[in-house]
């Protein structure tokens, strides 16, 4: 069946952008989920949790993620070239399991500047029916744009209940938690993560109208129309385009809100300022280089939303003595993208920055900037040799995003196949695969052949 028939609709995309999730259902017969769940129960109870190796251990799981329904949903949100991240996990809970705390997932043990744009998504998949007693996953709609919890009545949880084959498509940064299992049944939730490889150049869903339609009564508890319109334009491939629905705002009043301790107010102010275009750039740039961490973070998002016209201000901030300003300036330049030598060269210099947070952000930005290769690739090769594991695996992922133009990095990526960090190794394999030259593919296949994993070898069946 054509993938086109399973792409999201405009209405579903609007809901995903505003609420941060969609509850959908695979189209497999009930017997498929029953058999998969029975095998999962057997493996988990006899062998324990295989963690990242759950996919090769239970190859049927890959059938789920190759289904047109899930592929169509993921393509709509993270683009047609998305990649499944090597971190996979089955949250398998026995009766009596306590409730989790509300959280955002870390980036494999690390933290970074969170992307408002959909560079990342997660799938939560249940192979069996889940009801309230079993402790379904809970989410706070609309919270994917906040670094902290609001902690007030705007946090209205939704719980993922449903029949076999139910899955949630979730913005990576949505606040969520696992519930307490008060039933007498085992509960299994498979969590897989997916990364976008390229910024949108056109709608990837079944788009019928380019016009954003206000959420009105269908919004999550906190309304951010300017933010949602900005995300909608980005998905359309119109990043930085003028916000046609913007109204005149008091710039000084909004600028004063950027540093608000109540994050929804600060985020909202950032995007409403961005909707004013160049007239608000001075206020946003001033906040970016201030000593107020909240204001600087929100200014980074606001300047990103303004788009390419702010590149000069952001390049200037890359040499600011405040490391927070350098970090958010690099972040914004990466999110804006564009093949601009001045931006790429300036960000590349930050790969040698004394601040590890700045280096982490710089290498990610280089992967989003892509070109010119003579500016980005040598810097990312240096990043592969950084003492910090997060810099190394982000450098490998940046090269993965650059793809064929990163052929110069093949020797360094080949060395990274022996890195102590599992995600550096995994990202290096995917980078070599996407580069696609004979040298790159040979290195990747030699590594995978030597490290092949047999899904039927267990302590009880070793031959």
Q: Based on the domain organization, do 155 and 288 belong to the same domain? A: no
Q: Write the CATH number for 114.
A: 2.60.120.620
H or E element at residue 158:
strand 158-159
The number of distinct structural domains making up the chain is 2
Residue 72 has pLDDT above 90, yes or no: yes
pLDDT digits (tens, 9 = 90+) for 123-146: 999 999 999 999 999 999 999 999
Q: Based on the domain organization, do 56 and 169 belong to the same domain? A: yes
Using 50, 70 and 90 to split pLDDT, how confident is the model at 454? confident
Q: Are 318 and 346 in contact (CB under 8 A)?
A: yes
Q: Based on the domain organization, do 172 and 257 belong to the same domain? A: no
Q: Based on the domain organization, do 145 and 255 belong to the same domain? A: no
Backbone angles phi, psi at 328, to 5 degrees: -70, -30
Domain final residue pick, 319, 342, 362: 319
Is 409 domain-assigned? no
- Computed over every residue of the chain, the mean pLDDT equals 94
Residue 1 has pLDDT above 60, yes or no: no
Is 335 domain-assigned? no
Q: Based on the domain organization, do 151 and 279 belong to the same domain? A: no
Give the β-pairing of 83-93 and 158-159: unpaired
Of the candidates 393, 417, 416, the one whose C-alpha atom is nearest the C-alpha of residue 108 is 393
Is 115 domain-assigned? yes
For residues 378-394, give the mean pLDDT: 97
Q: Based on the domain organization, do 41 and 94 belong to the same domain? A: yes
Q: Based on the domain organization, do 153 and 285 belong to the same domain? A: no
The whole-angstrom separation of Cα 325 and Cα 300 is 9
Q: Based on the domain organization, do 123 and 12 belong to the same domain? A: yes
Is 267 domain-assigned? yes
Q: Alpha carbon 379 to chain centroid distance?
A: 23
Residue 368 has pLDDT above 70, yes or no: yes
Q: Based on the domain organization, do 169 and 263 belong to the same domain? A: no
Domain final residue pick, 319, 343, 358: 319
At residue 458, the pLDDT reads: 74
Q: Based on the domain organization, do 20 and 131 belong to the same domain? A: yes
Q: Based on the domain organization, do 186 and 257 belong to the same domain? A: no
Q: What residues contact 451, with CB distance under 8 A and at least 6 apart?
A: none
Using the structure block, give the residue that is written with the tokens 């009596």. Answer: 96
Q: Based on the domain organization, do 233 and 179 belong to the same domain? A: no
- Residues making up the chain, counted from first to last: 463
Of the candidates 113, 18, 142, 105, the one whose C-alpha atom is nearest the C-alpha of residue 335 is 113
Residue span of the structural domain in which 93 resides:
3-195
Residue 259 has pLDDT above 80, yes or no: yes
For residues 333-350, give the mean pLDDT: 91
**How many C-alpha atoms does 176 have within 13 Å on its Cβ side?**
25
> Considering the entire predicted model, what is its pTM?
0.95
Is 286 domain-assigned? yes
The whole-angstrom separation of Cα 187 and Cα 179 is 10
The whole-angstrom separation of Cα 23 and Cα 167 is 6
Is 56 domain-assigned? yes
Of the candidates 275, 273, 280, 332, the one whose C-alpha atom is nearest the C-alpha of residue 308 is 332
């Amino acid at each position: 069946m054509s993938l086109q028939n399973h792409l999201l609709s405009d209405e579903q995309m609007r809901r995903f952008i505003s609420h941060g999730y969609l509850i959908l259902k695979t189209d497999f017969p009930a017997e498929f989920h029953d058999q998969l769940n029975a095998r999962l129960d057997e493996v988990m109870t006899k062998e324990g949790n295989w963690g990242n190796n759950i996919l090769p251990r239970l190859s049927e799981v890959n059938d789920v993620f190759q289904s047109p329904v899930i592929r169509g949903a993921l393509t709509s949100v993270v683009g047609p070239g998305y990649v499944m991240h090597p971190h996979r996990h089955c949250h398998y809970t026995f009766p009596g399991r306590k409730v989790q705390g509300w959280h955002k997932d870390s980036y494999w043990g690390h933290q970074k500047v969170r992307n408002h744009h959909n560079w990342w998504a997660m799938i939560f998949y249940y192979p069996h029916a889940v009801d309230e007693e079993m402790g379904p996953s809970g989410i706070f709609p609309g919270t994917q744009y906040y670094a902290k919890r609001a902690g007030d009545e705007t946090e209205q949880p939704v719980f993922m209940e449903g029949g076999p084959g139910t899955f949630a498509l979730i913005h990576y940064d949505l606040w969520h938690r696992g519930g307490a299992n008060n039933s007498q049944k085992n509960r299994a939730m498979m969590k897989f993560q997916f990364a976008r490889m390229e910024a949108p150049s056109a709608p990837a869903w079944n788009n019928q109208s380019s016009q954003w339609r206000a959420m009105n009564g269908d919004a999550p508890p906190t309304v951010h129309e300017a933010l949602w319109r900005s995300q909608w334009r980005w998905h359309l491939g119109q990043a930085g385009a003028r916000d046609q629905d913007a109204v005149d705002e008091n710039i000084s009043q909004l600028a004063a809100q950027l540093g608000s301790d109540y994050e929804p107010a600060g985020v909202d102010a950032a995007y409403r300022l961005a909707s004013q275009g160049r007239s608000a750039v001075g206020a946003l740039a001033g906040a970016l280089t201030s000593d107020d961490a909240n204001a600087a973070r929100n200014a980074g998002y606001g300047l990103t939303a303004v788009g390419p016209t702010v590149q000069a201000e952001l390049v200037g901030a890359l040499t600011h003595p405040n490391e927070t300003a350098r970090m958010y300036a690099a972040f914004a330049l990466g999110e804006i993208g564009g093949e601009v030598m001045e931006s790429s060269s300036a960000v590349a210099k930050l790969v040698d920055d004394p601040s590890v947070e700045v280096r982490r952000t710089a290498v990610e930005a280089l992967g989003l900037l892509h070109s010119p290769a003579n500016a980005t690739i040598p810097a990312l090769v240096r990043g592969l040799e950084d003492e910090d594991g997060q810099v190394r695996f982000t450098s490998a992922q940046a090269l993965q995003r650059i793809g064929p133009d990163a052929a110069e990095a093949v020797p360094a990526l080949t060395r990274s196949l022996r890195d102590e960090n599992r995600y550096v190794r995994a990202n290096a394999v995917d980078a070599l695969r996407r580069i696609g030259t004979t040298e790159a593919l040979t290195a990747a296949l030699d590594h995978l052949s030597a490290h092949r994993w047999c899904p039927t070898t267990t302590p009880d069946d070793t031959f």
